[in-house]
């Protein structure tokens, strides 16, 4: 697994993404004599699977991602899915192979996604706003050509929101830049 997430059920379910094998979810325990088997696991996304996060207030809502910041929200009970990748009409987005995203610890309808910009959704990814400008060095000399098959450089690779103070966030990029905000991204 690249990364795992868990829900709040009892027993809890584990979700994770695998190289070339999608993203899957399965129980942490079972009453079966055979224990946990392959049949207990559910595929939530194809492609290369990476981060999976579960809405802490709705264990049926799972967020999963695949290459370069493509995100999906899935209801594991109904099977309904929505592709929720942010878009920016003013810029070509750069995302890491395994782009960071997170559910706010203060409100589970708020989701963040990192490209060269930090995006925020207040409606579980149905729409997005950009929080400020480019949070990388944005050095044209370091940019890869558009037709390059290499992983983009100068992208956000880490982000976190304080679980104690809403709006206190940190963002780190693969070019060494680190930014923080105390007002939810109005000023960095």
121 vs 152, which has greater pLDDT? 121
User: Can you give the pLDDT at residue 147?
Assistant: 67
Averaged pLDDT, 159-180 = 96
User: Can you give the pLDDT at residue 36?
Assistant: 94
Averaged pLDDT, 7-17 = 94
Distance CA 27, CA 29 (A): 5
User: Can you give the pLDDT at residue 150?
Assistant: 73
The confidence band for 179, taking pLDDT boundaries of 50, 70 and 90, is very high
- Please report which helix (H) or strand (E) contains residue 126, including its range: none
Q: Is the pLDDT of residue 70 over 90?
A: yes
> Contact 143/151 with Cβ under 8 angstroms?
no
Distance CA 61, CA 43 (A): 14
Averaged pLDDT, 3-24 = 93
Among 100, 124, 41, which Cα is nearest to 76's?
A: 41
User: Can you give the pLDDT at residue 137?
Assistant: 94
Q: Which two structure tokens, joined as six digits, stand for 95?
A: 């995302």
Q: Is the pLDDT of residue 119 over 80?
A: yes
Percent of the chain with pLDDT over 90: 86
Q: Which residues contact 83 (CB under 8 A, 6 or more apart)?
A: 70, 71, 72
Mean pLDDT (the chain) is 93
The confidence band for 152, taking pLDDT boundaries of 50, 70 and 90, is confident
Q: Is the pLDDT of residue 131 over 90?
A: yes
DSSP-derived 3-state class of residue 63: strand
Q: How far is CA 29 from CA 53, 59, 87, in A?
A: 19, 16, 39
Q: Is the pLDDT of residue 140 over 80?
A: yes
Angle at 3 between CA 71 and CA 137, to 5 degrees: 65
Q: Which two structure tokens, joined as six digits, stand for 150?
A: 């290499």
> Contact 157/100 with Cβ under 8 angstroms?
yes
Averaged pLDDT, 83-112 = 95
Among 149, 144, 132, 146, which Cα is nearest to 174's?
A: 144
Q: Which two structure tokens, joined as six digits, stand for 153?
A: 């450089």
Q: Is the pLDDT of residue 29 over 90?
A: yes
Q: Is the pLDDT of residue 143 over 90?
A: no
User: Can you give the pLDDT at residue 145?
Assistant: 67
> Contact 135/173 with Cβ under 8 angstroms?
yes
Among 95, 85, 97, 139, which Cα is nearest to 116's?
A: 95
Q: Tell me: the pLDDT tens digits for 47-60? A: 889 999 999 999 99
């Amino acid at each position: 697994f690249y990364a795992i997430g868990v829900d709040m059920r009892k027993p809890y379910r584990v979700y994770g993404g695998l190289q070339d094998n999608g993203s899957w979810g399965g129980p942490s325990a079972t009453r079966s004599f055979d224990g946990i088997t392959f049949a207990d696991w559910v595929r939530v996304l194809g492609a290369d699977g990476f981060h999976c996060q579960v809405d802490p207030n709705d264990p049926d809502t799972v967020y999963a991602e695949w290459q370069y910041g493509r995100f999906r929200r899935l209801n594991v009970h109904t099977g309904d899915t929505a592709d929720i990748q942010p878009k920016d009409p003013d810029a070509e987005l750069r995302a890491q192979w395994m782009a960071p995203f997170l559910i706010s610890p203060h409100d589970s309808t708020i989701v963040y996604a990192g490209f060269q910009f930090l995006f925020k959704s207040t409606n579980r990814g149905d729409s997005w706003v950009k929080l400020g400008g480019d949070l990388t060095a944005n050095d044209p000399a370091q940019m890869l050509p558009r037709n390059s098959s290499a992983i983009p450089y100068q992208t956000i690779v880490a982000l976190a929101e304080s679980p104690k103070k809403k709006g206190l966030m940190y963002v780190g990029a693969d070019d060494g830049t680190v930014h923080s905000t105390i007002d939810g991204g109005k000023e960095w």
